[in-house]
Structure 1
Amino acid sequence: MCPAKTCAIPYRCESVLALAAQFPERKGFFSKFTLQAKFSMQTLRDDSVSIGQCDDDDGGMPMEYVREGSLGDLIREIRRVLKILATDKIYGYYRVDDGKKKSLDVTKETIRSPCSALNITENTTILVDTTAMHEMQGVLLCSGGGTRMPALTQHIQKCLLPVVGVPMFLYPLSSLLRTGITDIKIFVREVFQPVLEKEVKKSKLLEKYPANLEFITVSQEDNGTADLLKHHHNKITRDALVVSCDFISDASLIPLVDFFRATNSTLVALIADTCVSSPAPGAKSKK
C-alpha cells in the first residue's frame, strides 16, 4: 500500500520491482513481499486489498479495491475500469448480495464510509445503471380470458397455456427481465395469482434476474388493454414497457427502449409485419 494517507492505493508488482531495482540496498525489505498471479495480472498479496471483476458488454477485467477505502474510492475505480466518463449520466447504483438486489445508498455521508462498514465484500456485485432501465417499470398483462380462442381456453387461463411445456406468460416475463427492468407489475385475475406465483418460483427466473414482481388483481370483467391501464393508472408511476402474456419472441426489447428515450417519444410500439398484413382476429366470445 502507498504509505501516503491521502493516496492509500495498492502498488502493483511492476511498481515494486522497479523500486527494488532502484534501491538494491533495501533488498531485504522488498524480499518480504510475495507476488502472485491472479486474473492474468500480478498483484501484491495483501489482506487489505481485494481483487474484484468488472464486467461490461466487452467482457470482464480485474479491479483492485481497498477494503478500508471509502465507497467514493470504490465507485471512482469502477468508473475508471469501465471507462465511464465524468460527463456520462448515471441513473443509479445498485448492490447484489446473495442474489438480493437493492439500491446502493450514495450520499454525502456514505461516500466517505469505508467499504467494510457498508458490508461491501468481494462477493458483493455493484451495478452501475447507465441506461435508466432500473427506472422503468414493466407491465405484464395476464388478465385476459382468451375469448378469441375458446377451444383452447375453456379450461385454462390464456396466460397459462403451455408453449413447449412452459406457461405462456413466462416468455414475456423473461423478455422484461432480460431488458434489465427490475420493477414489474403483473395484472392477473385473483383466482390465478397463486398459480402464476408458483410458476415464477418454479422457473427460477428471479434467481438469474433479481427483480420485484407485484401482482395486481383485476375483476372477472374482461376489459381491453386501454381500459385496464386506465383503471389502474395509479399503479404505473413511471415510464413503462407494456407487454401482453402472448408476446413470445427472441427479439431484444432494449433497442425499443433506447429508441423511446433517444427520440423523447410519448409512445413507441413494436409491430411485426404479419400484424400489419394479416386479417383481424376473430370476434370475442362470452366466457
Structure 2
Amino acid sequence: KRMLREEPPDLLVLINSRDFNLRIARLAKKRGIPIIYYIAPPAWAWPDWATKRTARDITKVIAIFPFEAELYRKVGADVTFVGHPLVGKARPNLSKSEAYEKFNLSSSHPVIGLLPGSRAYEIDNLLPIMLRAAAKIKMSLKGVQFLLSVAASVFGEKINRTVRRSGIEVKVTNNNIYDLMSVSDLIITASGTATLEATCLATPMIVVYKTSLSTWILGHILVKFPYVSLPNILAGRRIVPELLQFRATPNRLANLTLSLWGDCKKLEQMKIELNKVTRKLGEPGAIERAARVVVKSLPS
C-alpha cells in the first residue's frame, strides 16, 4: 500500500499468483494505475462472476491460451493472445541415443515415463497407483523399462523410499524432464503443466489424477470443460486418455497402457493430434511478444 501510494508505477504488471495479485490490483485501480495481468487467473476454473470481477479490476489481460483469451473477452476484458512460453522452450538437451545412455536404458525395449506430479498430495495419491500399475504392466510387457521423474527435489527421498518399498525396478531421475519425455515411448502423468510439456514434444500420454472428494466435487461445479488435461481442453475433444478420481486405479491404468502399447496406429495418431494442439499455442517467442505488449501499454 505504501509503495503504491508513495511511488506509484506508470504501469503495473502482474504475473500469476491469483490471490495475492488480485488484492494488489484492487489497490492499484483505486489509484488509477493501469494494470496488465500476464498468466491471469484461469477463467475456465472459476465462476463467471469471479472472472468478470478480475476483468473489471485490470486494464489488459495477456493470454497464453486461446481459450483463455476467448473466456476473458466474453466478460468484457481487453485481451491480447501472445502464445504459450513453452513453445520453442520445451525441448530435450540430449539426442535420443544420448538419452538412452544417460538413463542407462535399452533402445530395444519399451520405455514408459512416470510423472506423479510436484505436490506432496499428488505424490501421495498418484505414485502408489502408478507403481502398482507398473508391476502389472511388467508382467505382460517383456523388457519394459520405467523412468520416474522427481519434479521437486524436496520429495526425492520420499519418492525413492516409495519406489524401494514397491519392489519394482524403476529408474528415478531429477534430470531434464524433456530428455525423459523425449526418450519415453509413452508417459503416465499427473494432470498439469507436464501434459503441456509432453504435448510440445508430441509424446503420447495417459493422464491420471486423484484428489480429495470435496475438491473433486468443487472442480466439477466450477470447471467449464469436460476434461482436466490441457491437451484435451485445447483440442476441444479427448485426444489423450484421462483416468480421473474413481477411475484412477492400478488395474485400469495397467490395462489402458497395455492396450495403447498394442495399438501403434493409435499412438501415432496421438502424436499427430498433439502436434496440432501445439500449433494452437502460437509460434516461439511468446515472452518477447508479451514484453512488446507491455512496452506499447506504457503511458506516453
TM above 0.5? no
> Which is helix-richer, 1 or 2?
2
TM-score norm. by structure 1 comes to: 0.30
> Which is strand-richer, 1 or 2?
1
Q: Please say which structure displays the higher CA radius of gyration.
A: 1
The structure with higher relative contact order (CA 8 Å, sep 6+) is 2
